């Protein structure tokens, strides 16, 4: 997780003062998306319940997500025997940062490893990494 690139500045944060909790939550989502990519699952679209927005890049994904109160992130397996398989993760923004990942769907038996990949993510580690980066400490 410590090799995750720095989160880009989001224009949505220019609209008002941003609390540490909101920044923390945004970093949890940023680190989660990269965690899933490291596990072979690429974010392909954001579903707000009415429209699906194809993800152009990670900054675009974050801008889309943080213009919503809740959404589904759709991930697609990039290689191997389950290449092309898609699953979704439900995000609810505005609660505690460790609760932003509210739910996810996976195949019974988890043959493609999606549930294992999501479950392996530890949102509580994100604050430690954020503070380490802010103060130039080792991660």
108 domain residue, yes or no:
yes
Is residue 139 situated within a structural domain?
no
* Calpha distance 131→54 (Å, rounded): 32
Q: CA-CA distance, 126 to 24, in Å (whole number)?
A: 8
Query: In this structure, is residue 3 part of a structural domain?
Result: no
**Is 115 among the domain residues?**
yes
Q: What is the tens place of the pLDDT at every residue in 21-54?
A: 888 999 999 999 999 999 999 999 999 999 999 9
Is 5 within a domain?
A: no
Determine phi and psi for 8, rounding to 5 degrees: -70, 160
Distance CA 45, CA 56 (A): 9
Q: Is residue 10 a part of any domain in this protein?
A: no
Q: Quote the number of domains for the chain.
A: 1
Question: Nearest 5°: phi and psi at 121?
Answer: -70, 135
Among 76, 48, 50, which Cα is nearest to 63's? 48
> What pTM was estimated for this model as a whole?
0.89
Which structural domain range is residue 84 located in?
16-134
61-119: pLDDT as tens digits: 999 999 999 999 999 999 999 999 999 999 999 988 999 999 999 999 999 999 999 99
């Amino acid at each position: 997780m410590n090799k995750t690139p720095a989160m880009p500045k989001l224009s949505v944060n220019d609209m008002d003062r941003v609390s540490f909790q909101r920044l923390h939550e945004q970093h949890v989502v940023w680190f989660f998306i990269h965690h899933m990519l490291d596990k072979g699952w690429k974010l392909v679209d954001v579903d707000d319940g009415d429209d699906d927005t194809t993800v152009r890049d990670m900054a675009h994904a974050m801008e889309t997500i943080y213009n919503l109160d809740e959404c589904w992130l759709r991930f697609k397996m990039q290689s191997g025997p389950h290449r092309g398989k898609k699953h979704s993760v439900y995000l609810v923004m505005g609660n505690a940062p460790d609760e932003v990942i509210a739910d996810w769907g996976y195949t019974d038996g988890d043959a493609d490893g999606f549930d294992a990949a999501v479950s392996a993510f530890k949102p509580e580690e994100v604050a430690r990494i954020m503070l380490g980066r802010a103060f130039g400490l080792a991660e």
